[in-house]
Every structure is written in structure tokens, then in C-alpha cells.
């Protein structure tokens, strides 16, 4: 059986699949050539990340496909319902990258409150001539301890973000349409554990009380956070989006930064990905990463193994 990992897969995932008797192809096939390649090579399993789209044209015209796998959480680049109607299994790895995304959120958050993203731009250029001025500019940072973090979307990633926040001494407010409350367990290096219960609240309440807001919801139609929502937030709020582009109105965000309502923002995902707005990219109060939330060695390893195990359980009888 042939598997095409069109957006790559970890070596541990490859080895697990090969040990089970599968042939794994890791060549990247351009979107417009994908249907032809699948049919010519009689691909039975197609593995993708966010770069490759699996729409009805591929699903309808590639009769050898038995499984479509998404390395990651969101499956908005796959026509999932249509595939399942065609009796094609659709799998993903919702748990494998949660820790990595959560850590990136806090990398941005720590950087935002201490201006690291802007300081790292300007120190190489002006650190030798404007040192004292830069010191004054970046000397009004804030501590996270004692502040309130609003987590919108309280699934696996949102809960991992909450764990780090609680470990930093922050108060956590969460909002989720499906979850009423959740137990958050903090595991320590010596085997000790503490479990705290977090009850979710309406978004309107969350955005009014939070010093910082982190978004963790799937792709949806329309903005979750737009001009009206931002207007209800605390003055000086920080906003982090490491979920999906299009859930945060970037124009409204830029306006709010300019008038001081939002002190800083951090974006790992963008409305016009992979060609983000130049205004967003050039703004000195926005911390930027190119959609790398799950892109750690550890997460990629877990993703590969989890995909391999699911494929083996489905196809190896």
C-alpha cells in the first residue's frame, strides 16, 4: 500500500509505517498535479498539513484513496463530510501539537509585555548609538503574574495555554460554546500534581475582564473578534491569535493599536495567508511568526507517530 505524505512526516512516523509494510512517499506534489499523481501511483493514503487542500475534485476523481490524514488539529483544508460520504476515512492529530502551540502563545506573550519583538529589530540597528533612548523606550514592561488571561476556545490547546498561565500566577477566564467547565491538572517535575477547575464564561464577560486574550477556535465564517468586540476590551489589552486567520479582523486590530486601545498583538496566522498584509507585517507593536505553532521537533514526532498508529489500526487487519 502506498502513502503520500505531501506536506512531510516525521522520520519516526515513516519508520512506523514502513515497519507495518507501507510504502511512504514524501515528495511534495503541486496542488494542480496532485490528482494526477495520486491516480498514477495508486495512492491509498494521502497525508497533508495546512499547505495542501483536499477538495471534492480530488475526492471524486481519485478512486484509490482510502484515508485522508491531516497532521494537526484543524481540517478546514479538507472537505471532510464529502470524503466520509464517499467512505473515505478522515483522520487528524488533535492532541499531538497542543503543548507546542501553547508554548508559542507564551513566547509571544512574554515578548509582547517586554517589547522583545521590537527591541530585537532596533538593537542591531541603533543599539550602539541610541542605547539610553532605547532603554527608556523599552523600560515600561509589565509582569504577567497577577494579570488575567482570557482563553477563547477551551479545547486541548486552550487548556494547555491555561496550564502555563496558571503556572505563571495568572488568573484564567475561559470561553467555549461546548465546554461548561474543565479540570486543569498541573504536572510537576517530581510527580506532584495540582488540579484546578476552570468554569467557562460568555465571551462578552471574558473580553471585558481580560488583560490579555488568546484565541483558540476553529476556522469559521465571519470575524469572532472585530471592531465591536475590541471596543469592549480593557484599555491596553494584548491579543494573541495562534488559531486561524480570519477569526480576527486585522483592520480593526490595526486601528485599535493606533488609538492605544490594544497595546500589542501577536499573530501566528493571518487573514491573507500566505501573503499577509504589509501593514500588519511592518507594525512595530505586532509580534509575528509564520504559522509555526505546531512546528517543533517534538510535536512533529508525535504527529507522525499518531498518524501512523491510526493508519495501521484502520488498514492492517
Q: Does the annotation count 291 as an active-site position?
A: yes
Pick the catalytic residue from 89, 103, 255, 273.
Answer: 273
Three-state SS at 287: strand
Burial class (CB in 10 A: 0-12, 13-18, 19+), 34: buried
Q: Which fold has domain 98-288?
A: Rossmann fold (3.40.50)
Average pLDDT estimate for 225-234: 98
**Is the pLDDT at 101 greater than 80, yes or no?**
yes
Average pLDDT estimate for 119-134: 96
Please tell me the predicted confidence (pLDDT) of residue 153: 95
The mean pLDDT of the chain is 95
Domains 2-93+297-315 and 98-288 share a fold: yes
Q: Write out 98-167 in H/E/C secondary structure.
A: HHHHHHHHHHHHHHHHCCHHHHHHHHHHHCCCCHHHHHHHCCCCCCCCCCEEEEECCCHHHHHHHHHHHH
User: What residues does each domain of the chain span?
Assistant: 2-93+297-315, 98-288
Please tell me the predicted confidence (pLDDT) of residue 9: 95
Instruction: Determine what percent of the chain is predicted with pLDDT higher than 90.
Output: 91
Q: How many helices (H) and strands (E) does the chain have?
A: 13, 13
**Is the pLDDT at 317 greater than 80, yes or no?**
no
Alpha carbon distance 58, 145 (integer Å): 50
Please tell me the predicted confidence (pLDDT) of residue 7: 94
Average pLDDT estimate for 209-233: 95
Q: Does the annotation count 82 as an active-site position?
A: no
Average pLDDT estimate for 242-249: 96
Pick the catalytic residue from 49, 156, 283, 291.
Answer: 291
**Is the pLDDT at 135 greater than 90, yes or no?**
yes
> pLDDT digit string (tens) for 63-85?
999 999 999 888 889 999 999 99
Q: Does the annotation count 216 as an active-site position?
A: no
248 — pLDDT class (breaks 50, 70, 90): very high
CB 64 within 8 Å of CB 44: yes
CA dihedral 116, 118, 119, 123 (to 10 degrees): 150
Alpha carbon distance 88, 299 (integer Å): 26
Written as nine digits, the cell of 61 is 476523481
Q: Which fold has domain 2-93+297-315?
A: Rossmann fold (3.40.50)
Alpha carbon distance 143, 211 (integer Å): 11
Predicted TM-score (pTM) of this structure: 0.89
Alpha carbon distance 74, 99 (integer Å): 16
Pick the catalytic residue from 244, 250, 283, 302.
Answer: 244
Instruction: Determine what percent of the chain is predicted with pLDDT higher than 70.
Output: 100
Amino acid at each position: 500500500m502506498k502513502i503520500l505524505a505531501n506536506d512531510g512526516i516525521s522520520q519516526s512516523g515513516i519508520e512506523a509505517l514502513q515497519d507495518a509494510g507501507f510504502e511512504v512517499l514524501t515528495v511534495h506534489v503541486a496542488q494542480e498535479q496532485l490528482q494526477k499523481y495520486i491516480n498514477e501511483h495508486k495512492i491509498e493514503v494521502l497525508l497533508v498539513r495546512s499547505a495542501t487542500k483536499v477538495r471534492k475534485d480530488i475526492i471524486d476523481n481519485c478512486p484509490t484513496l482510502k484515508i485522508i490524514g491531516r497532521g494537526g488539529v484543524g481540517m478546514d483544508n479538507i472537505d471532510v463530510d464529502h470524503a466520509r460520504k464517499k467512505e473515505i476515512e478522515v483522520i487528524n492529530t488533535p492532541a499531538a501539537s497542543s503543548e507546542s502551540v501553547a508554548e508559542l502563545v507564551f513566547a509571544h506573550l512574554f515578548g509582547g509585555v517586554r517589547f522583545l519583538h521590537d527591541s530585537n529589530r532596533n538593537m542591531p540597528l541603533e543599539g550602539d548609538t541610541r542605547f539610553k533612548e532605547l532603554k527608556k523606550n523599552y523600560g515600561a514592561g509589565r509582569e504577567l503574574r497577577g494579570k488575567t488571561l482570557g482563553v477563547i476556545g477551551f479545547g486541548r490547546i486552550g487548556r494547555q495555554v491555561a496550564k502555563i498561565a496558571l503556572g505563571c500566577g495568572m488568573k484564567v477566564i475561559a470561553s467555549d460554546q461546548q465546554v461548561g467547565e474543565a479540570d486543569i491538572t498541573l504536572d510537576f517535575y517530581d510527580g506532584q500534581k495540582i488540579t484546578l477547575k476552570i468554569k467557562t464564561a460568555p465571551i462578552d464577560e471574558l473580553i471585558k475582564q481580560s488583560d490579555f486574550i488568546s484565541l483558540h477556535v476553529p476556522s469559521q465564517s465571519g470575524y469572532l473578534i472585530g471592531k465591536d468586540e475590541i471596543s469592549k476590551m480593557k484599555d491596553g489589552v494584548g491579543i494573541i491569535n495562534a488559531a486561524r486567520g480570519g477569526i480576527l479582523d486585522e483592520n480593526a486590530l490595526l486601528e485599535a493599536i493606533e488609538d492605544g486601545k490594544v497595546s500589542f498583538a501577536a499573530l501566528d496566522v493571518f487573514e491573507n495567508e500566505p501573503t499577509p498584509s504589509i501593514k500588519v507585517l511592518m507594525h512595530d507593536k505586532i509580534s509575528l511568526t509564520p504559522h509555526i505553532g505546531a512546528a517543533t521537533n517534538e510535536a512533529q514526532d508525535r504527529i507522525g507517530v499518531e498518524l501512523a498508529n491510526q493508519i495501521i489500526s484502520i488498514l492492517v487487519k
